[in-house]
Chains A and B, each alone.
Chain A
Amino acid sequence: MPTIVKVLAFSLGMALIFTGIANLLPQVEGQAPEDKEVDLGALTMDSFIALGEDIFKNKGTCTLCHNNMGRAPDILHLDMNEVSRKHLADERYKGSATDVAGYIHESMVDPGAYVVKGFGKKGSKDTESPMPAVNKAPIELTDVEMDAVTAFLQAKDGGEVTVALPSEAPAPSTKEAVPSVAATAEEAIGKFGCSACHAVLDSSAELGPSLKNIGARLSAAQIRQSIVDPNAVIAEGYPPIMPADFADRMMAKELEMMVKFLANSK
């Protein structure tokens, strides 16, 4: 065999092995935020808080650092009402907030107002924060979105939400999370991310039980119970990881559409 053919075959073989490994890994695309309108008139406090949670975990990219990896305080596991009061009373606090909502908002737009010990920029002795101002690029949260995050952080540990719901005027537009009511069962399934774990519609995920023939195995009442109280009955062989807060996040119309759709999936 000519040398050139051997060399080409060897090169191609190696490159294909590398490609194969790349294709074996989890395939995740990093989508850019999309501009969507929020119907402020349809907002309830619950959906406003849900919007805040969604922004916290997605567009705000807060969980990139605020997690249990030690890069920044693990906000989701801290009572932010208590923590905020403690920081406001600390002599190192340099900001102008006077209450919990003000402190949380200030920490988003001016993170240097109070730097938690051990989390400052390297070499700054905790006087400078590595956190970017979230109302500026690259995150660019609007006032409404920051209020929604504040409401979420106040509410998640049972605290009183002191942020007012946004009014109609001026009508702000926010990006990404849209708590508007889904029009169809398919849209609701997409909105609540069921297909991330369950085989449903085009998904073949295996983290939870398949929903493609769920109607043949469960009644409408059982399906409803599985959504609003997923820990009541755990399907054999699957971990108890389904979020238990769908009852709070779904509109009644969305729940019933979904139950009907799944009950008919036989």
Chain B
Amino acid sequence: MLTRLISRSTTQSRWQTRFWILALLAMLLFFIGNVPDSSSGIGFVDAAHASETVAEEAVELKGAPKLKREDYPQLLGMSSRSIVWVIAQMHLYLAAFVLAVPLFVTVIEWIGVKNRDDRYDDMAHEFMKVSMTAYSLTALFGGTLAFALFLLYPDFMGYMMRVFGGQTLVYAFLFFAESAILYIYYYSWNSLRYGNKKYIHLSLGILLNVVGTTLLFIANAWATFMMAPSGVNEAGAVTGNIWEIMRGPLWNPVNLHRFVANIAFGGAVVGAYAAYKFLSAKSLELKAHYDWMGYTANFIAILAFLPLPFAGYWLMAEVYAYSQQMGITAMGGILAWLFIVQAVLIGTILLAANYYLWSGMSRCDGSERYRYLIKYIAVTLVVCFLIWVTPHTLILTAKETAALGGSHHPMLGPLGIMPAKNIAVNLMLIATFLSFQLYRRSDKEVTVAWAGLGNALLVTIYVVAIANVIFAGIYYGYFTNTVYKVGSSVMQVVSTLIVIIAGVTIDSLMFKGAKTLPSKWGQVSNRAQYALFALPIAFTWLMALMGYVRSSVKTHWHVYTVMKDNSPDNYIPAIGHAGNMMTIATISFVLIVLFIFWIASLSESRQVKPVASA
């Protein structure tokens, strides 16, 4: 089957496919020949055997190196951390994008098959086209990052290689496999388009995502090992097998958080692509196509974004469980101020997403039924946003402090603490879901007999959930002690999740077989397209901000509690400096993304054959 597939490809794709299959086989042979044996103490050994090995070779266990400042090479007097920071950030942005796109592309492709609608298939193919250029750039930045790390942090990288051993080769092998499958998946799109062949193509998409997600999880293990090491003793000597090293306490929370966040980020970036193409389009037909594409991308981004705070809750709960000190450093210590910036960013994302949905409602006359609700949603979002950005301690001069009677405002002070912010965040998520639900209902007319009952049930769920979010936040947040405060946030999260799950379930049942009202695609305002640009900008900055927190909670350790960072950059940078770095990374990424869009568009253009002169 594979041979037949290749024979139908273009000459270029034939060569590429053959090359990748050869490379894959070579890597497989290389890897099989180089898997570390159990006697090495690192690598793929079972736990029992590892323990025996450690016991026998206890004297030979080698801990993490203790570095001095002179052990860190400098490059042209520049800050090594800043160099690695920007390169790593670029690699992460691109990697997040290229791993996320195939996830929703495969789903869209499957929707196309299920609905027998070629538009979905074409859109999925176009999303992949954008991702293809990004893929090679991801590899280039990945290689540059590896060189930078080995050049600037050789001892640290030496230690990491010693700990992870053969696992790094598995990563390399999977990277080759990912490349091979990705190219086959993309270039075989048209040759495996219909009938049973389509299922082969869909299977390739699933395989691509399995390999891509495994790559993500492996890379996550390196980062979470640095935050919460496992499989090593107090001195950093390897005592466990590779599985024990990888499955640290923060691995799964980070895996889930990054997996979901990548989808939201990928959706936002392809949304920007659609917006860019919409703004550049000259014909209504093209505008309609990219309007629909932008809507789908925004749908993906917001759908993935809504559960993200809950994944964040789990991650932070695990951080606190691992080390209360680390948790407080992040949430209540030196890094606490950056959560004001986070509030601004998430507020921007939610406001932009809602604005896009409200603008999009103008596509359909059926939205008239729901438009009166927009002003209430807008007021809720703005009030909640203002509560979220209210700081706990105000930055004041002595005179202002004296005039205020302290560093907390007597009326606004209570809004600065977590219970108020938990109420605000949950209400913003519920309001956004309501916008989303209203948008989805705009072009449909319900036909089921129990519509009244369904709507009443839905309104009741909204009212009870909102009341519960406010009650739990106020009562447990202000009138009981800290233990109940934490418990109340779980109640609030569950309320929000119930709204989302119930909303999707009831609407799915109620609008099954509903009458579809006409939509005027391509006539949405240009301003709505800028909302689609605001999303990836805020997402990109937010990813950098969260990376800064994740890395900074390690304080002056390369590997927390195991290997100290004694480099000149072993301090937590101030939020202003970090913000400047984030903007450099964000703007660099925007330039690269625009380059990717341009490259993707270039393949669509064809020079007109010159007319031969007489």
A96 at the interface (CB under 8 A from B): no
* CA–CA, A64 and B571, complex, Å: 18
Specify which chain A residues have a CB less than 8 angstroms from the CB of B344 in the assembled complex. 18, 21
Interface string of B563-599 (1 = CB under 8 A from A): 0010000111111111110110011001100100000
A118 at the interface (CB under 8 A from B): yes
* CA–CA, A239 and B344, complex, Å: 32
B555 at the interface (CB under 8 A from A): yes
* CA–CA, A4 and B477, complex, Å: 48
Contact A25 B345 (CB under 8 A): no
Contact A32 B571 (CB under 8 A): yes
Say yes or no: A23-B582 contact (C-beta < 8 A), given A32-B571, A65-B328.
no
B325's partner among A11, A21, A65 (CB-CB below 8 A) is A65
A70 at the interface (CB under 8 A from B): yes
Interface string of A205-223 (1 = CB under 8 A from B): 0111000000000000000
Contact A25 B586 (CB under 8 A): no
Contact B325 A64 (CB under 8 A): yes
A131 at the interface (CB under 8 A from B): yes
Specify which chain B residues have a CB less than 8 angstroms from the CB of A137 in the assembled complex. 234, 557, 560-562
* CA–CA, A14 and B344, complex, Å: 11
> How far apart are B456's CB and chain A's nearest CB, in angstroms?
39
Q: Which of chain B's residues has its CB closest to A13's CB?
A: B537
B334 at the interface (CB under 8 A from A): yes
Contact A11 B587 (CB under 8 A): yes
Contact A15 B556 (CB under 8 A): no
B276's partner among A7, A16, A65, A70 (CB-CB below 8 A) is A7
> How far apart are B496's CB and chain A's nearest CB, in angstroms?
22
B398's partner among A6, A11, A28, A238 (CB-CB below 8 A) is A238
Specify which chain B residues have a CB less than 8 angstroms from the CB of A71 in the assembled complex. 324, 328, 482
Interface string of A118-156 (1 = CB under 8 A from B): 100110000000111000111100000000000000000
A12's partner among B573, B576, B587 (CB-CB below 8 A) is B587
* CA–CA, A14 and B579, complex, Å: 13
A26 at the interface (CB under 8 A from B): yes
B72 at the interface (CB under 8 A from A): no
Contact A14 B537 (CB under 8 A): yes
Specify which chain B residues have a CB less than 8 angstroms from the CB of A132 in the assembled complex. 323, 325
> How far apart are B171's CB and chain A's nearest CB, in angstroms?
28
Specify which chain A residues have a CB less than 8 angstroms from the CB of B573 in the assembled complex. 29
Contact A19 B582 (CB under 8 A): yes
B587's partner among A15, A32, A206, A207 (CB-CB below 8 A) is A15
* CA–CA, A166 and B481, complex, Å: 41
Specify which chain B residues have a CB less than 8 angstroms from the CB of A61 in the assembled complex. 325
A30 at the interface (CB under 8 A from B): yes
* CA–CA, A208 and B577, complex, Å: 27
Contact B333 A64 (CB under 8 A): yes
Contact A238 B561 (CB under 8 A): no
* CA–CA, A136 and B395, complex, Å: 36
Say yes or no: A30-B234 contact (C-beta < 8 A), given A22-B341, A238-B398.
no
Contact B534 A138 (CB under 8 A): no
Q: How many residues of B contact A (CB 8 A)?
A: 61
Specify which chain A residues have a CB less than 8 angstroms from the CB of B552 in the assembled complex. 30
B67 at the interface (CB under 8 A from A): no
Specify which chain B residues have a CB less than 8 angstroms from the CB of A30 in the assembled complex. 329, 334, 552, 555, 571-572
B204 at the interface (CB under 8 A from A): no
Contact A7 B594 (CB under 8 A): yes
* CA–CA, A207 and B407, complex, Å: 12
Dominant secondary structure at the B interface? helix
* CA–CA, A157 and B482, complex, Å: 27
Interface string of B354-398 (1 = CB under 8 A from A): 000000000000000000000000000000000000000001011
Say yes or no: A31-B328 contact (C-beta < 8 A), given A18-B541, A18-B579, A122-B321.
no
Specify which chain A residues have a CB less than 8 angstroms from the CB of B397 in the assembled complex. 206-207
* CA–CA, A130 and B483, complex, Å: 14
Contact A15 B537 (CB under 8 A): yes
> How far apart are B339's CB and chain A's nearest CB, in angstroms?
10
Contact A237 B399 (CB under 8 A): yes
A22's partner among B401, B534, B579 (CB-CB below 8 A) is B579
B332 at the interface (CB under 8 A from A): yes
A232 at the interface (CB under 8 A from B): no
Q: Which of chain B's residues has its CB closest to A206's CB?
A: B397
Contact A22 B575 (CB under 8 A): yes
A183 at the interface (CB under 8 A from B): no
> How far apart are A205's CB and chain B's nearest CB, in angstroms?
9
A239's partner among B328, B329, B398 (CB-CB below 8 A) is B398
* CA–CA, A73 and B323, complex, Å: 17
Contact A3 B280 (CB under 8 A): yes
A26's partner among B329, B395, B556 (CB-CB below 8 A) is B395
Residues of A58-114 contacting chain B, CB below 8 A: 61, 64-65, 69-71
Contact A4 B398 (CB under 8 A): no
* CA–CA, A8 and B587, complex, Å: 9
Contact B561 A138 (CB under 8 A): yes
B583's partner among A19, A26, A130 (CB-CB below 8 A) is A19
Q: Which of chain A's residues has its CB closest to B562's CB?
A: A137
Contact A70 B481 (CB under 8 A): yes
> How far apart are B597's CB and chain A's nearest CB, in angstroms?
9
B159 at the interface (CB under 8 A from A): no
Contact B328 A64 (CB under 8 A): yes
> How far apart are A125's CB and chain B's nearest CB, in angstroms?
13
Contact A11 B323 (CB under 8 A): no
Specify which chain A residues have a CB less than 8 angstroms from the CB of B556 in the assembled complex. 32-33
Q: List 18 A-B contacts (CB under 8 A).
A: A3-B279, A7-B533, A14-B348, A14-B541, A15-B537, A15-B582, A21-B340, A22-B576, A22-B579, A25-B395, A29-B574, A69-B332, A71-B482, A118-B481, A121-B321, A130-B324, A138-B561, A206-B397
- 10 shortest A-B CB distances, which residue pairs? A22-B579, A30-B572, A32-B556, A137-B561, A70-B482, A27-B574, A23-B576, A130-B324, A19-B583, A15-B583
Other A-B contacts than A11-B537, A30-B555, 10 sampled, CB-CB below 8 A, are: A8-B594, A11-B587, A15-B537, A15-B583, A15-B590, A22-B579, A23-B576, A27-B576, A136-B234, A208-B398
B residues with CB within 8 A of A: 234, 276, 279-280, 321, 323-325, 328-329, 332-334, 337-338, 340-341, 344-345, 348, 395, 397-399, 401-402, 481-483, 530, 533-534, 537-538, 541, 552, 555-557, 560-562, 565, 570-580, 582-583, 586-587, 590-591, 594
